[in-house]
A and B are shown apart, each in its own frame.
Chain A
Amino acid sequence: MDELRKKYEEMLESEARTAKEDTLKELGDYQKEAGRRVAGAAEEPRAMAGPYSFTVGEIIDQVEKDTNIGRDVINAMINLKANLAGGGE
């Protein structure tokens, strides 16, 4: 029983790690592309909500530090990929 639980926990951890890496890769790609596309633009795009205001780099930092906002972004990325893989809703 303990072995089964251990295997299950390992599986969850591995999936969470993959999701995090995937999110970091996607946001990193966007950051590179946006940097190339909007070079010379007045301001870098920011995500704002209530008192929070983050650039793409800062959101990547939130994901890396595994904060609540970072986890929200990872979840949204998982849902986004799932929805698009299913052809949307």
Chain B
Amino acid sequence: MPARMPAAKDLAKIYIKRIEKTAIDLRKPVAVNWKDVFTRFPRYCHVLLIAPHHTSPDYTDYSIQGADDFFAFAGSIATVKYLRDTQATRANVEKELKEFNPRLVVHYDHGGTNAIYGESVANNPQAVIDTANSDKLRMRVASTVSCLSASGLGPDAVGKGCTSYVGYNDLHWIVTSTHMAFWNCASKVHQKLVLGYNTKNGFDSAIATYNTNIAYYSSIGDTFTAVHLQMDRDRLTLVGSQTATTCPKRFEILWPLHEMVVMKKIPDLVWPPKLLDIDQERYL
């Protein structure tokens, strides 16, 4: 036992002083270092789109059209950085992952079990994200339209902190004459994410679109397309979180909602901001 023990009264005084100090500190305005926050956490609603184009004839002759289509859709909703064609190098991707700091990474190109590819300076496929730098997907959602990567790179990235990874666990097929149907199905995952839905919603929506397209192409006798769509549908894989979101929720305009907006009963925060034909006269 120490020689000089403080009396209980003195201990109480120290305790009260501590409480007062904490309360005073809490009253001080908190200075948030936003630069630090943006560096540490991926930025919500920021989308990095990677779509190279290698020497023709190649799968990327078509995949870049799918990427352009997605860019046209997402460009007006989210902040999209598009690394197209020769810009999609490994150095650029790593730079943008750090500086642009996207929450969602979308990729259209070739893939392997442990890598997704971009473009080298010599216009050849070059791994832009592989197991060596997959930790750069930490706290991000990745959605890729490429072969194989969901069987190796996806689980590896999720193991290193990637929130969610959507891709294909085997070859991703397209048919050249009907290739837009393949992009329409595959893009559903990231289209839903941009609209504020979660990864499971995006995945389910893609499967439903595959089913619709499979039924359509079978019904018109295009078995060749239907069979390849069927293979892709069965290979679409979601690894990691099923509830991750990347953008704020957007409400698509519905007729009863629109009426309430016109009557000023709910705020005009609906998307897309368009008028229905029936209401045109009212505003003229």
Say whether B192 faces chain A, with CB atoms less than 8 Å apart: no
Question: 8 Å CB contacts to B: which residues of A17-61?
Answer: 26-27, 29-30, 33-34, 38, 43, 45-50, 52-53, 56, 59
Determine the chain A residues whose CB is within 8 A of the CB of B224 once the complex forms: 27, 30, 34, 45, 47, 56, 59
Q: Which of A30, A45, A88 contacts B178 (CB 8 A)?
A: A45
Determine the chain A residues whose CB is within 8 A of the CB of B234 once the complex forms: 76, 79
State how many residues of chain B have any CB contact under 8 Å with chain A.
31
Closest to B179 in A: A48
Q: How far is the CA of A73 from the CA of B227 in the complex (A)?
A: 7
A48 touching B176 by the CB < 8 A rule?
Answer: yes
Determine the chain B residues whose CB is within 8 A of the CB of A26 once the complex forms: 223
Q: Which of A33, A45, A76 contacts B227 (CB 8 A)?
A: A76
Say whether B150 faces chain A, with CB atoms less than 8 Å apart: no
Q: SS class of chain A's interface: helix, strand, loop or mixed?
A: helix
A30 touching B147 by the CB < 8 A rule?
Answer: no
Q: Which of B59, B178, B226, B230 contacts A49 (CB 8 A)?
A: B59
Given contacts A30-B221, A33-B221, A52-B171, contact A80 B59 (CB under 8 A): no
Given contacts A47-B174, A50-B59, contact A76 B228 (CB under 8 A): yes
B214 touching A49 by the CB < 8 A rule?
Answer: no
